[in-house]
Chain A
Amino acid sequence: MSTYHRIVPNTWWLQRRPYILFMIRELTSVFVAGYCIFLLVLVYKLTQGADVYGNFMAAMKSPISVVLHLITLVFVLYHTITWFNLTPKILVVYRGEERIPQGLVAGTFYVGWLVISAIVAWLVLGV
């Protein structure tokens, strides 16, 4: 006797809006990895001296770089928002017997995000 497997088409995720949003959320990881590689290249260029680094910084001002960054930003922001909204469902925090509401946990992440962003900007830009 063999187990019954229902045939699921590979395009199942196109059939409903929540499935499409799920797939977009999963694909944000590709942009996350892409930006990791960008950062890696940036630090590598830094090891190659001032001229090489300067050329890379100049390339970052090209329209293609700006467009790629903007597309990446949209997907990474989608990652951030879905991540902060999802994590409180998994991270169950109690104060005494009371479970801290999910909205409060998510809110803490959003506030932390703003504070960390400000600190990173201050450290990187030195302003």
Chain B
Amino acid sequence: MAKSNEPIWWSLFSAGGMVAAMIFPILIIITGILVPFGLAGGDDSLNFQRIHKAISQNNSVKLILFIVISLPLFHWAHRFRFTLVDVGLKSMSTLISILCYGGAIAGTIVSAVIFWNI
């Protein structure tokens, strides 16, 4: 049997799925409801100084945020790849894989560069 890359993509898919499941709902509630409706502890909680300081001066915060942003991209890549194949794009499956995983890798690199330079 030919060696497969599948376990790598599947591991990233499931790790990203868990991160998104656990953390995204509360983050969406914060950025989409609490902040717009002024329920995020006034203007102080997400102000530039506090957030910039919290991220730029702490490498473990950078690492956690990098993981929180990049892993779910691989979750999307793996799921969306098979969704497109399932709706009849099987003939283009190689191109779809390259675009999906490539997109996730690109997003990860952009994310790494941003956190590296902050």
Contact = CB atoms under 8 A, between A and B. Distances in A.
B55 interface: yes
Contacts of A50: 48-49, 52
B80 interface: yes
Interface string B83-118: 100111000000000000000000100110011011
The main secondary structure of chain A at its interface with chain B is helix
A35 B24 CA distance: 8
Contact-residue bracket for chain B: 35 or more
Contacts, number: 160
Interface string A54-91: 10010011100110111011001101100110010000
9 contacts: A13-B87, A26-B82, A43-B65, A44-B114, A61-B35, A72-B28, A79-B20, A83-B20, A117-B26
Interface of B: 16-18, 20-36, 40-41, 44-46, 48-52, 55, 65, 68-70, 72-73, 75-77, 79-80, 82-83, 86-88, 107, 110-111, 114-115, 117-118
Name the 6 nearest CB pairs between A and B, nearest first. Answer: A69-B32, A10-B88, A33-B76, A29-B79, A117-B26, A50-B48
